[in-house]
Amino acid sequence: MLGSSQKLILCITNQSLTAGLWHGSKLQSYQVFENHDEDYTAFSVFLSKHKDVNVYLMVDAIEEDYKLEALPHTTGSARREIVARKLSQFNRNSTYRAAHYINRDKNKRKDDNFLFVALSNADFMQGWMDSIRAEHIPLVGVYLLPMVSQVIVRQMKLMSPHILLCERLSSGLRQTYRHNGRLRMSRLTPMTNVKPAQLSYFYLVEIEKTRLYLLSQRLIAAETPLQMILPAIDETSDDIAKSISQDQGIECKTVDILIFAKNSNISQDVVKSHPELLHMQLLANGNIPDNLAPAELTKTHNIKNLCRNINLVAILVLMAGVLVSGIYFFQAYQTKLNIEETVAKKEKQLQQYELVAQNYPETPVPGPDLKAAVKIAGAINQETPKKMMQVISAALKGAPEIAINRIRWMQTNQLDIKDGNESAQGNSAAQQVAGTPESALRQIGFINAEIRRFKGDYRAALASASRFANQLRANPSVEQVKILQEPVNVSSLANLQGSTRDENTAQRTPAIFKLKVVLKSEESESLE
């Protein structure tokens, strides 16, 4: 589901295609196909056997273009746009092209230096590419061999600023110029009909051509000390190097490419017979340079890659879910253990209590409930209106002219209750918050009284009512007395009606008044 570690690496030259199958970084097998119809068919059959294997395509061709460009420094989409535009200008007709970032200028503008590379003619690849398309092979990318050979220079730590790497490959002599290790130019010369005795001369001629080209392109100056690197596959390399050094006066150095091949995990024998397999091995090792293939060619791979990534995310999501659930379940398990421990402790406490409780007197309910029931019974006030009546009677002794018409007596904890209010049932005593200081019940009385034999003397009536209220206040059991209604309302805020002949008329308006009396609670009385 997530893809295998197999890789199919192809190297296309103008004459043939070498296909190597890697498992991880280990070459399993390789096969060479020539540029003719029979081998195209064989290649298709070969591909059909490895349909799901990712394919890396390396090109070693004569038809390569290189151009160094300095672009204004940009980033993100602006950079992508400017590079795409420049690439179109560089090689409009080529399908395979790429911009290889080199470095940033150190001058004032600090431009970005790019090497634009392209295959100017890809007709030689057409047959192979048709097979790849037909089989819907996941093509990862198309790469140039000289770009891969950069890895050789880097890994062999060849530090000279001007290097001309001369590789003898199946396709011919590949000369690659590198400035400070960076690719600047490469050219391939086929080595057809070159006899071993003529090798040194062939090298001399081709190197001179390359040097002149570099001079013409101003990539080097006449006095630039160019260092030649000859990867030695056999003993002829030393002779060639010696010959070039003597005849051209160029520093020429041989490097043992077979040891490098061994270190790169590929057999020396296969490199001797097919040197490009070393570059293919470097690709297999994960040294992937810039891709020249357009997006439509790598779409199959990209879709496959996208599928693989989605599957990977799905697995990660599932694993995260399992992990989070695992953590939760573990915490729940720990909690469950705590519950069991707590239950055991509780049972122990209860057992100990049961042991102790065996010595208790037999009781229908637990001790705290016994106490609560008794306290509730005690809290229910056994008061009667007797006390209020006694207070009123005592006050009436000093005010014989007053007659009581109505007494409304109540026990409530709402001291501001009004006479017109509903009874204290439910909406006062029951709704008060338990435990508040107002929770103690108090005796409150509303007294409606009148002045006996009232003859219209309002001044005397007011004095009588006031005296009666004062008599009540004087009682030590009384906390508060409030005159709610006077015998006559002399307030400027109310209407006052009457007749000057009131004193002589038989029917007079009665002089009634109303008081509110609040008795002290038993607690406050006892404190006093």
301-to-136, 139, 315 alpha-carbon distances in Å: 9, 6, 21
The continuous run of DSSP H or E covering 59 comes out as strand 54-60
**Least distance in angstroms from the C-beta of 415 to another protein:** 13
Q: Does residue 506 bind another protein (CB under 8 A)?
A: no
Residue closer to another protein by CB (options 279, 301) is 301
Among 194, 404, 460, 483, binds another protein (CB under 8 A): 404
Residue closer to another protein by CB (options 126, 331) is 331
Residues 227-266 that bind another protein (CB under 8 A): none
Residue closer to another protein by CB (options 28, 328) is 328
CA–CA dist 248, 230 (Å, integer): 15
Q: Where are the alpha helices (DSSP H) in 362-457?
A: 367-379, 386-397
**Least distance in angstroms from the C-beta of 3 to another protein:** 12
**Least distance in angstroms from the C-beta of 57 to another protein:** 19
Residue closer to another protein by CB (options 53, 153) is 53
Residues 405-464 that bind another protein (CB under 8 A): 405-413, 423-425, 429-436, 438-441, 450
Q: Are 92 and 45 in contact (CB under 8 A)?
A: no
Residues 335-364 that bind another protein (CB under 8 A): 335-336, 338-339, 342-343, 345-346, 349-350, 352-353, 356-357, 359-361, 363-364
CA–CA dist 406, 484 (Å, integer): 14
CA–CA dist 313, 441 (Å, integer): 72
Residues 376-395 that bind another protein (CB under 8 A): 376-377, 379-386, 389
Core vs surface per residue 186-221: b (16+ CB within 10 A) or e: bbbbebeeeeeeebbebbbebbeebbeebeeeebbe
Among 31, 273, 331, 504, binds another protein (CB under 8 A): 331
Amino acid identity at 406: R
Residues 13-42 that bind another protein (CB under 8 A): none
Residue closer to another protein by CB (options 41, 334) is 334
Rounding to the nearest 10 degrees, give the CA dihedral for residues 368, 370, 373, 375: -70
Residue closer to another protein by CB (options 286, 400) is 400
The sign of the torsion formed by the CA atoms of 119, 123, 128, 130 equals positive
Please provide the size of the chain in residues: 528
The secondary structure of 328-373 as a DSSP string is HHHHHHHHHHHHHHHHHHHHHHHHHHHHHHTTSPP-SS-HHHHHHH
Q: Does residue 372 bind another protein (CB under 8 A)?
A: yes
Residue closer to another protein by CB (options 102, 132) is 132
**Least distance in angstroms from the C-beta of 347 to another protein:** 8
Residues 301-330 that bind another protein (CB under 8 A): 302-304, 306-307, 310-311, 313-315, 317-318, 320-322, 324-326, 328-329
Is 113 strand, coil or helix? strand
Q: Does residue 84 bind another protein (CB under 8 A)?
A: no
List CB contacts of 72: < 8 A, sequence separation 6 or more: 82, 109, 111, 112
Residues 271-300 that bind another protein (CB under 8 A): 295, 299
How many residues bind to another protein according to rule CB under 8 A? 94
**Least distance in angstroms from the C-beta of 84 to another protein:** 15
Helices (H) and strands (E) in the chain — how many of each?
A: 14, 17
Residue closer to another protein by CB (options 27, 410) is 410
Residue closer to another protein by CB (options 32, 403) is 403
